[in-house]
Chain A
Amino acid sequence: MRTAAVAGIGQTRFAKNMGRTELDLAVEAIGAACSDAGVEPRTVDGFVSFHVEQVSEVDLVTTLGIDELRYMARTPSGGGGAASILGLAAMAVEHGTAEQVIVFRARNRSKAASYGSDPNQGGRPWAKSGSRLRDFRQWHHPFGVAAPAHEMALIGRRHMGVYGTRAEHFGMQAVAQRFHASRNPDAIMRDPITLDDWYAARPIAEPIRLVDCSLENDGAVALLVTTVERARDLQAGAIPVLGHVQLGAPIHTELSDFFATTAAYGEHDSGAVVAGRRLFGRAGITPADVDVAMVVEPFSLTVPLALEQYGFCGMGEGGPFIESGATRWPDGGLPVNTHGGSNGEAFVHGVNHLPEAVRQLRGTAVNQVEGAEVAFACGAITDPSGAVLLGVDR
């Protein structure tokens, strides 16, 4: 089987109220990824994105003048799919289904702006669900639990109750990421914050405070995935995909199932505990070999949960792991979200975390982890998600 590699990365500016369509944003990011690699956009033969993506493959084929589209795939779910999309692209390349696959996500999330009537376009989907509930919302909304922040808060508080994790632990990750963002010219939030600022921040749904939350902004990100051999011939070189997994874990929007499934984490195998073992086993490495991690975090509390389940620390030790400074660049042993993440750089459903993993392995990151050779990236742990491992080309 062939080995896939990232050959190009591209992104738009990230900002609020950019006033541009998702198609416009996607085309810019895809063009940037292609010119990073030095290929013509019309030679792209695959697209992978999220199930909620509003830019259609058909629009991209006609807009970019694609010669022959051989592969289209989408994955659930929101930020859960951020790493899975790269895995799906790698799989198509590994099996010879396609040669040059674009992974992308374009969002126009500004509250005031919307270019369509789909609940996933503009504003907050949960606020548009109406007063007659025919689906999973009937189990949450009558009790005033509707926003992802509400659901994540209930997940985070459970972790606190079981393991003694403190809300400040989540805050410390938020503070670390804002420090990372303060050095990143592409970041929306350039002012660093202290833990005192975290304490002073408005509570959203306790233990979540405003600065724990992902930003609401517009922007698009794209990556070009091809074979490692072809990537070596292209101008930016190859960042090989060492492994990828998906996991059909339960989702925060269905908490009865979420807690039924996660009730016994640590007692028997579930969720990313199993998927992580499969990921590292296939790649022939261990979490200790990872130099830098991109952990998609709609809210900062998902970072310790993900680090635990993927085996970077023991179950329940995610809070103290963060408190030790392990996730903070430059001194931490496992810097996490070195671009500033979703509360610092931008929220593009976590797909902006993937180019940062590539920059770290190219040695071009603003907050460069010295000698980084292996990068890990995972989707939001509170959704059906997945993870990838990337490495330097040897």
Chain B
Amino acid sequence: MTFSVPSPDAIPRPDPSGADAEFWSALRDGELRFERCAACGTLRHPPRPVCAHCGSRATEWVTSAGSGEVWSFTVIHAPTLPAFIDQVPYGAVVVRLDEGVFVVSNLLDCPVDELTVGDRVELVPTRVDDELTLPLFRRA
């Protein structure tokens, strides 16, 4: 069971604005970036207008090293979104990046039934088309 990204015409895709657009734009350049509070250094994801830790609105972007661990995983069967129905069952994961933020993703090269919580993974920016690159992962 390997995961393949749905075709560009089928995949549900972000249509973001503001800080969300910066997140997806960075991925087109192959980088996974998160908002970081410029005052206290706390990372946050998804993007937010203020730091929940210290209240500062001063924000910078930081590029993730792309290493993390499998926080959780599942194998998805029908029903699911039309774009994914052809490849059920497929795996989905939650990855905790070493910087401390969490993302929902898929693993490119690993049957999820071989996974355990805590497995090390690394980022593979995966291009769908000119508009969309997904932050997918593979086992480290």
Partners in one complex: yes
A259 → B minimal CB distance (Å) = 5
- Whether B16 pairs with A138 at a CB distance below 8 angstroms is yes
- Whether B75 pairs with A203 at a CB distance below 8 angstroms is yes
CA distance in complex: A127, B77 (Å)? 15
CA distance in complex: A280, B48 (Å)? 35
- Whether A256 pairs with B77 at a CB distance below 8 angstroms is no
Name A142's contact: one of B17, B79, B117, B134 (CB within 8 Å): B134
Chain B residue contacts of A255, Cβ below 8 A: 94, 102, 104
Chain B residue contacts of A256, Cβ below 8 A: 45-46, 101-104
Number of A-B contacts (CB under 8 A): 123
Q: A127-B81, A143-B105, A161-B116 are in contact. Are A154 and B74 (CB under 8 A)?
A: yes
Contact with A along B77-119 (1 / 0, CB 8 A): 1011101100001101110100001111110000000001110
CA distance in complex: A106, B45 (Å)? 35
CA distance in complex: A146, B106 (Å)? 13
Chain A residue contacts of B104, Cβ below 8 A: 139-140, 143, 145, 154, 255-256
- The number of residues on chain B lying at the interface, defined by a beta carbon within 8 Å of a beta carbon of chain A, is 41
- The number of residues on chain A lying at the interface, defined by a beta carbon within 8 Å of a beta carbon of chain B, is 42
Chain B residue contacts of A132, Cβ below 8 A: 12-13, 15
B25 → A minimal CB distance (Å) = 13
Chain A residue contacts of B26, Cβ below 8 A: none
Chain B residue contacts of A162, Cβ below 8 A: 117
Name A131's contact: one of B13, B20, B73, B117 (CB within 8 Å): B13
CA distance in complex: A205, B74 (Å)? 6
Q: Using a CB–CB distance below 8 Å, which chain A residues touch chain B?
A: 124, 127, 129-134, 136-147, 150, 153-155, 157-158, 160-162, 202-207, 254-257, 259-260, 263
- 6 A-B pairs with the lowest CB-CB distances in the bound complex, closest first: A161-B117, A153-B74, A138-B14, A144-B84, A158-B72, A132-B15
**Selected A-B contacts with CB under 8 Å, 11 pairs:** A132-B15, A142-B11, A144-B6, A144-B80, A144-B83, A146-B80, A154-B74, A161-B117, A204-B79, A206-B75, A263-B96
